[in-house]
């Protein structure tokens, strides 16, 4: 553990006017409060807050942040209080220490709903004072550096939390060096074999090729000297986790990777950045599609740099980043550069972003929707890199990497996104799932009456787009459920010789404790409540007397006596759905659902269409439909799924797996049902099961008659 004078010297290197006496006072107070406490490693506990403070001096942070690091565990782990800290060190420091304490108590790796609420609290703390997060990141970095003294299960839990939350948060804040170290320390815990394998291959590569970094650095310096440009050149091999992630994403072997070395050229001004780019591209061949100009289009966290990848020595690809010294300070400190000191005064770096504005861009519109959407959106925003696209008028739209024209449409306005029908990139019409690239001009084509499709959720990547689409689908689903519920209740009332009037429905809703008839119909349409129950509520005697079974051999009305029929296997219609028959020579009538895509080929053959509808009454459970279900790969899940289906009085006639992954199984389940209401009951029961990731009705158009 370094002593107080060493710590003051570290602060004094960048802030000679620091309040040394207050730092000494905080050091002595923290030492006293933590006296007798030890870490898992056996070291005095106070060595940890001191190490965190030392980490924060590398970012040239102000006295208040350094003192907060020294005291950040006092309220939580000692008899110290907020009132005492306020009296001794002032309200600013007491607020910061209290903020770090609250963050420490958040269980960010808890259940999804709790995690979402805790993320809200995390972002609220960040919005009040971002220095709270800087201390917390320093705290996590030191804990990860010393994690070996913890129990293995605790190591794994902390490493996962670091990989999922703190590392991407550090990267989003622009502190790339911290992100890389946090990722690599987590990687060392979570997958030590893979990391060791990459390290061994690196050593082999160095033995075979020599010190490649030194050679390429010398080559770049030589070219800059010839062009009479003053600049510093640094090179390094990329971190093991960065290499492993690239191997996973691109499905490459280590030997196939090319750009495993990175180089930085740091110069005096912006003009020299572009001169250096010209020198490098004249000397080495640029790799197409690997150029990014973050100087003219900076990231939201203030990051500015030119990135290019070139084929260097022996055809090896190397990434080169070119930036000024002021840009480099922001690239190293990220949003923390706002508080950086130089020679005793707050450094006025023109590229440092205002933390309040940065927080606003990160959290913009993330509070729309439910807690699960918030959690998903926050993680998307933290992980995202950016691309910059142009509107037809030349305005710049900033989007995360992997964004599509749909994301772009929603970034402009929700109304534009909802009514989007197609898009043009650089004047050429493209599919909506096309991935956007830097510098492209995008035009959105809209149409009145267009509504978001459920498939759009899988196309978009931004939180704003996902939230808007889900909101629209919810509204549309409710309208659809009300409409379906109206049809189902009308049929149920007709069956007992009654009318489903507004007054009758209002009365039934009141008797069932529901808000109004609209709520009642929505529940019937979504299969939360059978239409039969509405009838039974108002007319219990009539409902009991008329529950007749429909002849399973003749369940449809509209066939002549000599016509045979069968259900189309492409759409598998069931009683309660609107149907139509298509005549086939020698095959009788094939019954399709009215929305079956297979009907398109008969649009010009109206003579073959037969108007059909299902018999009213209680159908036997003999109508087989196929469900496409994705379930988690855990013990007992499949058994629970089968039990759930059985509890709904449905029979499984076949079951086949279509995809097997380490964490999920996808399977087709054939179920024998009575009607569409029975289908909704089964699907609702399965959707409510936590181990069911996805469920939909499986329709196979290859099985056309």
Catalogue the active-site residues: 76-77
Q: How do the residues of the chain divide into helix, strand and coil, expressed in percent and rounded to 5?
A: 50, 15, 30
Cβ atoms of 552 and 673 closer than 8 Å:
no
Give the angle 5-8-10 at the CA atoms, nearest 5°.
115
Residue whose structure tokens are 């030392």: 54
Measured distance CA(489)–CA(226) in Å, rounded: 85
- Pairing mode of beta strands 292-293, 261-267: unpaired
What is the b/e burial string over 572-605, where b = at least 16 CB atoms within 10 angstroms of the residue's CB? bbbbbbebbbbbeeeeebbbbbeebebbeeeeee
Extract the tokens encoding 375: 């959690």
Give the angle 668-669-675 at the CA atoms, nearest 5°.
125
Cβ atoms of 190 and 153 closer than 8 Å:
no
Backbone angles phi, psi at 203, to 5 degrees: -65, -40
Three-state DSSP state, 566: strand
Measured distance CA(273)–CA(171) in Å, rounded: 23
Rounded to whole angstroms, what are the CA distances from 227 to 220, 231, 279, 283, 306? 11, 11, 7, 11, 19
Could you tell me where the beta strands, DSSP code E, fall in 83-136?
none
* Edge-to-edge order in the sheet of strand 623-632: 651-660, 664-673, 623-632, 692-697
Give the angle 545-548-552 at the CA atoms, nearest 5°.
175
């Amino acid at each position: 553990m370094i002593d107080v004078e060493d710590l003051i010297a570290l602060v004094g290197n960048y802030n000679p006017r620091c309040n040394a006496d207050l730092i000494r006072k905080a050091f002595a107070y923290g030492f006293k409060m933590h006296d007798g406490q030890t870490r898992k490693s056996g070291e005095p506990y106070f060595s940890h807050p001191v190490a965190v403070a030392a980490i924060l001096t590398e970012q040239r942070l102000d006295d208040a942040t350094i003192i907060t690091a020294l005291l950040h565990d006092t309220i939580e782990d000692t008899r110290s209080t907020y009132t005492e800290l306020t009296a001794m060190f002032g309200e600013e420091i007491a607020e910061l220490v209290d903020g770090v304490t609250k963050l420490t108590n958040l269980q960010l790796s808890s259940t999804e709903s709790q995690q979402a609420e805790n993320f809200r609290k995390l972002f609220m703390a960040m919005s009040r004072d971002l220095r709270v997060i800087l201390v917390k990141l320093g705290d996590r970095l030191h804990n990860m550096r010393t994690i070996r003294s913890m129990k293995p299960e605790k190591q794994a839990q902390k490493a996962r939390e670091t990989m999922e939350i703190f590392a991407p948060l550090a990267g989003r804040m622009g502190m790339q060096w911290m992100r890389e170290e946090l990722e690599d320390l987590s990687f060392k815990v979570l997958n030590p074999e893979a990391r060791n394998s990459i390290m061994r291959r690196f050593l082999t590569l160095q033995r075979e090729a020599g010190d490649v970094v030194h050679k390429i650095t010398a080559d770049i310096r030589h070219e800059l000297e010839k062009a009479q440009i003053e600049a510093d050149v640094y090179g390094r091999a990329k971190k093991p986790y960065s290499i492993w992630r690239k191997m996973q994403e691109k499905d490459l072997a280590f030997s196939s990777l090319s750009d495993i070395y990175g180089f930085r050229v740091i110069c005096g001004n912006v003009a020299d950045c572009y001169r250096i780019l010209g020198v490098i591209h004249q000397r080495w061949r640029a790799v197409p599609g690997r150029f990014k100009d973050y100087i003219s289009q900076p990231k939201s966290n203030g990051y500015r740099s030119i990135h290019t990848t070139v084929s260097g020595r022996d055809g090896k690809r190397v990434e080169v980043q070119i930036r000024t010294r002021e840009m480099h300070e922001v690239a190293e400190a990220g949003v923390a550069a706002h508080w950086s000191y130089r020679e005793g005064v707050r450094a006025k770096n023109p590229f440092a972003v205002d933390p309040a504005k940065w927080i606003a861009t990160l959290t913009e519109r993330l509070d729309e929707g439910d807690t699960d959407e918030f959690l998903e959106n926050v993680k998307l925003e933290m992980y995202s890199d950016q691309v910059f696209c142009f509107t037809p008028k030349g305005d710049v739209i900033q989007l995360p990497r992997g964004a599509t024209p749909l994301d772009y449409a929603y970034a402009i306005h929700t109304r534009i996104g909802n009514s989007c029908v197609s898009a043009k990139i650089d004047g050429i019409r493209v599919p909506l799932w096309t991935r956007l690239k830097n510098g492209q001009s995008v035009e959105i084509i809209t149409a009145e009456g267009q509504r978001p499709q459920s498939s759009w959720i899988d196309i978009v990547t931004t939180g704003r787009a996902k939230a808007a689409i889900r909101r629209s689908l919810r509204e549309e689903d409710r309208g659809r459920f009300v409409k379906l519920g109206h049809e189902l209740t009308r049929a149920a009332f007709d069956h007992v010789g009654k009318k489903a009037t507004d007054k009758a429905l209002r009365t039934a809703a009141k008797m069932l404790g529901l808000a109004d008839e609209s709520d009642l119909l929505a529940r019937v349409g979504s299969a939360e409540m059978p239409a039969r129950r509405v009838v039974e509520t108002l007319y219990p005697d009539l409902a009991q007397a008329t529950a007749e079974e429909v002849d399973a051999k003749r369940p449809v009305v509209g066939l002549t006596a000599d016509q045979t029929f069968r259900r189309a296997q492409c759409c598998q219609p069931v009683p309660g759905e609107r149907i139509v028959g298509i005549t086939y020579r020698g095959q009788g009538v094939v019954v399709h659902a009215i929305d079956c895509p297979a009907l398109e080929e008969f649009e010009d053959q109206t003579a073959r269409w037969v108007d059909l509808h299902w018999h009213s009454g209680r159908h036997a459970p003999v109508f087989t439909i196929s469900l496409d279900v994705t379930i988690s790969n855990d013990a007992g899940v499949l058994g629970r799924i089968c039990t759930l289906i059985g509890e709904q009085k449905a029979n499984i006639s076949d079951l086949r797996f279509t995809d097997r992954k380490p964490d999920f199984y996808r399977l087709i389940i054939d179920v024998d049902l009575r009607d569409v209401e029975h289908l909704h009951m089964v699907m609702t029961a399965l959707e409510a099961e936590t181990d069911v990731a996805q469920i939909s009705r499986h329709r196979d158009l290859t099985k056309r008659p």
